[in-house]
Structure 1
């Protein structure tokens, strides 16, 4: 006697392996309509296979700029901040990340400085004229979010950033921190 599992094994496995689909009918109990819509957009972007949304000023401020108060030399700084600020690439751990303790407006001004080579040698970075304090996060364990573990390094140096044009606000904005160069004497 044959069962559905033995006769239709492959289609059943394919159904089980599909990513979860979130439907509009799903009720978000503690979210307003606006928050529920933003959450749905987030899930759609997270599981999308196409290109990602271009970076925005708000994204950079949320994931890179940090406020004074907590010691930058704290060994758990990166582990805590990366989880709190939800820093990842489609739920995968970033191999490295930088947090800068500086006003966003000062970082945006760096975009108008001349091009210098990035740490990978490509000449598309802008370098700050003044020293900036920050934290360098280096991935030591984990592949997916919530299992990411980072080693934290306090740095004071010149920020190397890439910049991009943001159409809706008609401004050039910081896109990515490539390095925080420590200049040795």
Structure 2
């Protein structure tokens, strides 16, 4: 617990302060120009009444890619990582979230695959050709970020992701993880044959 408090002191302080106090803190801080700009953008996004900004390459890398040194089967994975990686929607708990154990380059390549239906049936997702391990976080209680409690589920399957163009870096980037399609038959509890030997076409 002490490590969490010391490593995430700034975000915790920011959550407790009002917007006016943010300005006072910001004016007297020793942040670099880059950090100052990021901090201003964060505040603008947090207190804006307009649509949420699309995630950038940096936020996707930080909030979706799993820590390679931490076991994905850890029952506290989601609660710890959601707090450490500051995953929220304007301080509100996300109802679900995925962490993928893959490199950014591996996930970005999925954006080049053909469109397939997302879990809601809309054909705007891209599906990985290889199996990816990850953790599915399902919100069990809480509304605001400090009260978010998640249940963690290890998953291994084909990742469904949405992608978008990031203008400032002129790249197509992964935008959102829609699902990790598991390979286990619900009736028999076994892996499907095509999961072991995926079709070549």
Above 0.5 in TM-score?
yes
Contact persistence 1:161–1:178 (CA under 8 A): yes
Unaligned stretches of 5+ residues in structure 2: 1-17, 185-191, 193-201
2:67 matches 1:67: yes
What TM-score do the two structures reach when normalised by structure 2?
Answer: 0.77
Partner of 2:76: 76
- What is the alpha-carbon distance in structure 2 between the residues aligned to residue 163 and residue 151 of structure 1? 26
Cα displacement (A) at 1:56:
1.1
Query: 1-side partners of 2:87 and 2:119: how far apart?
Result: 21
Which residue in the other structure is 1:39 paired with?
39
How many residues are paired up?
167
Distance 1:73 1:143 in 2: 25
Deviation at 1:147, TM superposition (A): 0.4
Alignment of 1:8-47 (within 5 A): 20-22=19-21, 24=23, 26=25, 27-29=27-29, 31-47=31-47
Residue aligning to 1:176 = 176
2:22, 2:79 → 1: CA distance?
33
Show the counterpart of 2:11: none
Which residue of the partner structure matches residue 105 of structure 1? 105
Q: TM-score, normalised by structure 1?
A: 0.84
Structure 2 CA distance, aligned partners of 1:151 and 1:37? 35
- Matched-pair contact (CA < 8 Å) for 2:54–2:175: no
**Matching residue of 2:55:** 55
How much has 1:105 moved relative to structure 2?
A: 0.3
Give a deviation string over 1:47-99, Cα, whole Å, max 9, x none. 01122323211111010011311110000000000000000000000000000
Cα RMSD for the two superposed structures: 1.7
| Conservation of the 8 A alpha-carbon contact between 2:64 and 2:99 | yes
More helix by share: 2
Residue pair 1:28, 1:36 contacting (<8 A) in 2 also: no
Query: Which blocks of at least 5 consecutive residues in structure 1 are unaligned?
Result: 1-18
TM-superposed CA distance for 1:30, in Å, is 5.1
| TM-superposed deviation, 1:24 | 4.6
